[in-house]
Amino acid sequence: MKTLIVANWKMNPVNQKEAKNLFEAVKRGIKSVKNTMPAGRQVEVVICPPFVYLNLLKGLTLGAQNVFYKEKGAFTGEVSALQLHDSKVKYVIIGHSEARKYLNETDDVINKKIKECLHEKLKPILCIGETAEEKKIGKKAEVLEKQITEDLKGIVTKEIKNIVIAYEPVWAIGPGDNCSIDETMSSILFIRKVIFKLYNRAISDNIRVIYGGSVDGDNANSYIKNAGANGLLVGGASLHAEEFLKIIRSVK
């Protein structure tokens, strides 16, 4: 399985020139990393820029940061999975805690978005995670199980292999504390346990579960090597080409 490294640029950078510069610097760096990578130890890198930059950036796998669940029509301000597919997008981040918080995205809406993405052959990156308050009152497991169960409702066994789950404890996102390796490992195991309950052993073993939350060049490798993450979702550090490349180099 390739290690998946996803850059979530969020609402950055502020103009096309900076977006192109960042993208090209990452692209150049990846080319040289790939030349030194042993066969079979491949890393898949996905860049998720704001919608407005998608069609400017070419030569690396692209992801979107959101999507709407209808195919087309009178939905002002929204972008469809069909349109993303046409823009050569392969992955879509869905259910990010910032979308849950600022756009009031519910599990029901997230579920519809996942289904629409799968219908258009896009791979959803489903973000789940507990807030600091939920963790404090001992509700982490309950929150994760509810999110997984509701977000994947009605998604059948053969579709699940196209889904990536990103465990992103909300309290670890941004310039905060990253989640410890032990805690990440136990959350990933718990996620696999829920998937086992909903599907089967093979799916629970094979579904890609990645970690996100204050990942940088120094801590990245531990999440892969010691916490059992199949990849990383990287916010802040993905806006600095050198730091992002350091992450890619460290996990290869």
Smallest gap from Cβ 6 to ligand PEP, in A, equals 8
Q: Is 243 in the active site? A: no
Among 98, 130, 134, 168, the one annotated catalytic? 168
**Which C-beta is closer to ligand PEP: that of 191 or that of 204?**
191
Is residue 233 involved in binding ligand PEP (CB under 6 A)? yes
Among 96, 98, 105, 130, the one annotated catalytic? 96
- The total of other beta-carbon atoms located within 10 Å of residue 193's CB is 14
* Distances in whole angstroms, Cα of residue 58 to Cα of each of 53, 62, 147, 189, 245: 10, 8, 34, 36, 18
Task: Identify which range of 43-51, 147-155, 157-165, 234-242 contacts ligand PEP by CB under 6 A.
Answer: 234-242
**Which C-beta is closer to ligand PEP: that of 122 or that of 128?**
128
- CB proximity list for 187: less than 8 A, separation 6 or greater: 140, 144, 167, 169, 179
Reduce the DSSP state of residue 19 to 3 states and report it: helix
* Element holding 196 (H helix, E strand): helix 181-198
Is residue 212 involved in binding ligand PEP (CB under 6 A)? yes
- CB proximity list for 204: less than 8 A, separation 6 or greater: 192, 193, 195, 196
Q: For ligand PEP, which residue of 57, 236, 244, 245 counts as binding (CB under 6 A)? A: 236
Query: What does the block give as tokens for 128?
Result: 């789940």
Smallest gap from Cβ 238 to ligand PEP, in A, equals 7
Is residue 95 involved in binding ligand PEP (CB under 6 A)? no
How many Cα atoms occupy the beta-carbon half-sphere of 175 within 13 Å?
Answer: 0
Query: What does the block give as tokens for 139?
Result: 């509700």
Smallest gap from Cβ 234 to ligand PEP, in A, equals 5
CB–CB of 107/151 below 8 Å?
Answer: yes
Query: What does the block give as tokens for 156?
Result: 């059948």
Smallest gap from Cβ 100 to ligand PEP, in A, equals 12
Smallest gap from Cβ 178 to ligand PEP, in A, equals 8
Q: How far apart are CA 65 and CA 193, in angstroms?
A: 27
Is residue 215 involved in binding ligand PEP (CB under 6 A)? yes
Q: For ligand PEP, which residue of 3, 8, 65, 111 counts as binding (CB under 6 A)? A: 8
Is residue 168 involved in binding ligand PEP (CB under 6 A)? yes
Task: Identify which range of 41-49, 138-146, 190-198, 227-235 contacts ligand PEP by CB under 6 A.
Answer: 227-235
Q: Is 119 in the active site? A: no
Total residues at interface with ligand PEP (CB under 6 A): 13
Q: How far apart are CA 70 and CA 78, in angstroms?
A: 9
The residue to which tokens 């103009």 are assigned = 15
Smallest gap from Cβ 217 to ligand PEP, in A, equals 12
Q: Of 142, 76, 144, 78, which is closest to residue 112 (Cα–Cα)?
A: 78
Q: Could you give the residue numbers annotated as active site? A: 96, 168
- Where along the sequence are the contacts to ligand PEP (CB under 6 A)? 8, 168, 173-174, 212-215, 233-237
